[in-house]
Amino acid sequence: MTNKQQIRRALLLLLFLGAAFVGLGYRLVDLQVLRHDELSAKAEQNTQREFWQAPRRGDILDVKGNILATSIAVKTVCADPSLIGNFRPYVARALAPLLDTSEAALTQRLTPRISRTTSGELVTNGLQYVRLAKNISEATWQRISDTMANLPLGLDEKKLSRNDRGFLRNLRLHSIFSEPDQQRIYPNGALASQVIGFPATEETQVGGHYISKIVGRDGIELAMQKALSGVAGWKVTETDRHHRELVALRDEDVHARDGLNVVLTIDAAVQHFVETALADAVQKHTPKSITGIVMRPRTGEILAMVSLPNYDPNQPNTISPATRDRAITDWMEPGSTFKIVVVSGALNNGVVKLTDQFDCENGVFFYAGRHLHDAESHGILSVKGVITKSSNIGAAKIGIKLGAQNLYDYAWNFGFGQRTGIPLPGESRGSLPLVKDWSKVSIAQIPMGQGVAVTRLQMLYAMAAIANDGWLMRPMLVSRLQERDGSVVQQYKPERVRPVVTEATSRQMIEALKTVPTKDGTAPTAAMKDYVVAGKTGTAQVAENGHYAPGKYIASFIGFFPADDPQICISVVMNEPKDGHYGGQVCGPVFRDIAERCASYLNIPPDPALMTNAPAFAVENSTHKF
Partner 1 sequence: MAKNRKNQAAAIRFGPALKASFLCLLIGGSAVGYVWQKNEIYRLGQQIRLREIKLAQLQADNKQLNDQISILHSPPKLDQRVKEFQLGLVPATPAQVVRLMEMPAPMDKSSPRQFAQRP
Of the pair 186, 358, the CB lying nearest partner 1 is at 186
Query: Is residue 245 a contact residue for partner 1 (CB under 8 A)?
Result: yes
Supply the minimum distance, in Å, between the C-beta of residue 273 and partner 1.
Answer: 9
Of the pair 25, 605, the CB lying nearest partner 1 is at 605
Query: What DSSP string runs through 179-206?
Result: EEEEEEE-TTTTTTHHHH--EEEEEEEE
Supply the minimum distance, in Å, between the C-beta of residue 329 and partner 1.
Answer: 25
Per DSSP (E only), the strands in 434-587 are 471-473, 478-482, 488-491, 496-499, 534-544, 547-561, 568-575
Query: Is residue 252 a contact residue for partner 1 (CB under 8 A)?
Result: no
Supply the minimum distance, in Å, between the C-beta of residue 265 and partner 1.
Answer: 15
Q: Given candidates 28, 29, 73, 105, which one binds partner 1 under the rule CB under 8 A?
A: 73
Supply the minimum distance, in Å, between the C-beta of residue 192 and partner 1.
Answer: 10
CA angle, 276 as apex, 611 and 310 as ends, to 5°?
Answer: 145
Question: What residues from 511 to 550 belong to the interface with partner 1 (CB under 8 A)?
Answer: 529-531
Separation of CA 254 from chain center? 30
E strand or H helix at 214:
strand 209-216
Supply the minimum distance, in Å, between the C-beta of residue 185 and partner 1.
Answer: 9
| Candidates 341-349, 460-468, 490-498, 604-612; binding stretch for partner 1 (CB under 8 A) | 604-612
What's the rounded Cα separation, in Å, for the pair 462 and 470?
A: 9
Compute, in degrees rounded to 10, the torsion defined by CA atoms 240, 244, 248, 254.
Answer: 130
Query: Is residue 283 a contact residue for partner 1 (CB under 8 A)?
Result: no
| Candidates 183-191, 206-214, 224-232, 587-595; binding stretch for partner 1 (CB under 8 A) | 183-191
Alpha carbon separation from 187 to 60, 107, 184, 344, 453 (Å, rounded): 11, 35, 10, 44, 36
Question: What residues from 96 to 155 belong to the interface with partner 1 (CB under 8 A)?
Answer: 138
Query: Is residue 247 a contact residue for partner 1 (CB under 8 A)?
Result: yes
Helix (H, G, I), strand (E, B) or coil at 263: strand
| Candidates 170-178, 242-250, 349-357, 382-390; binding stretch for partner 1 (CB under 8 A) | 242-250
Supply the minimum distance, in Å, between the C-beta of residue 515 and partner 1.
Answer: 22
Query: Is residue 613 a contact residue for partner 1 (CB under 8 A)?
Result: yes
Of the pair 263, 554, the CB lying nearest partner 1 is at 263
Binding-site string for partner 1 from residue 186 to residue 225, where x marks contact by CB under 8 A and - marks none: -xx--x----------------------------------
Query: Is residue 487 a contact residue for partner 1 (CB under 8 A)?
Result: no
Query: Is residue 366 a contact residue for partner 1 (CB under 8 A)?
Result: no
Exposed e or buried b for every residue in 176-186, given b needs 16+ CB within 10 A? Answer: bbbbebbbbeb
Cis before residue 309, ω within 30 degrees of 0?
Answer: yes
Question: CB–CB of 584/523 below 8 Å?
Answer: yes
> Any residues with CB less than 8 A from the CB of 292 and at least 6 apart, and which?
274, 275, 277, 278, 304, 305, 306, 570, 571, 572, 573, 590, 594
Supply the minimum distance, in Å, between the C-beta of residue 600 and partner 1.
Answer: 4
Closest alpha carbon to 461 in 558, 539, 583, 390: 558
337 exposure class (CB count in 10 Å sphere: 0-12, 13-18, 19+):
buried
Query: Is residue 614 a contact residue for partner 1 (CB under 8 A)?
Result: yes
CA angle, 478 as apex, 477 and 483 as ends, to 5°?
Answer: 160
Cis before residue 316, ω within 30 degrees of 0?
Answer: no
Query: Is residue 453 a contact residue for partner 1 (CB under 8 A)?
Result: no
Of the pair 473, 590, the CB lying nearest partner 1 is at 590
Supply the minimum distance, in Å, between the C-beta of residue 54 and partner 1.
Answer: 13
| Candidates 80-88, 330-338, 400-408, 600-608; binding stretch for partner 1 (CB under 8 A) | 600-608
Q: What residues pair up with 73 in beta bridges, in sequence order?
A: 182
Neighbours of 531 (CB within 10 A): 23
Query: Is residue 254 a contact residue for partner 1 (CB under 8 A)?
Result: no
Of the pair 21, 51, the CB lying nearest partner 1 is at 51
Closest alpha carbon to 344 in 329, 334, 354: 354
Q: Given candidates 28, 72, 104, 160, which one binds partner 1 under the rule CB under 8 A?
A: 72
Number of residues that bind partner 1 (CB under 8 A): 41
Query: Is residue 625 a contact residue for partner 1 (CB under 8 A)?
Result: no
Closest alpha carbon to 270 in 567, 490, 480, 59: 567
Question: CB–CB of 185/69 below 8 Å?
Answer: yes
Query: Is residue 23 a contact residue for partner 1 (CB under 8 A)?
Result: no
Of the pair 69, 398, the CB lying nearest partner 1 is at 69
Query: Is residue 67 a contact residue for partner 1 (CB under 8 A)?
Result: yes
Instruction: Kindly list the residues in this chain that would bind partner 1 in the complex (CB under 8 A).
Output: 65-67, 70, 72-73, 138, 187-188, 191, 244-249, 268-269, 272, 276, 529-531, 597, 599-601, 603, 605-606, 611-614, 616-622
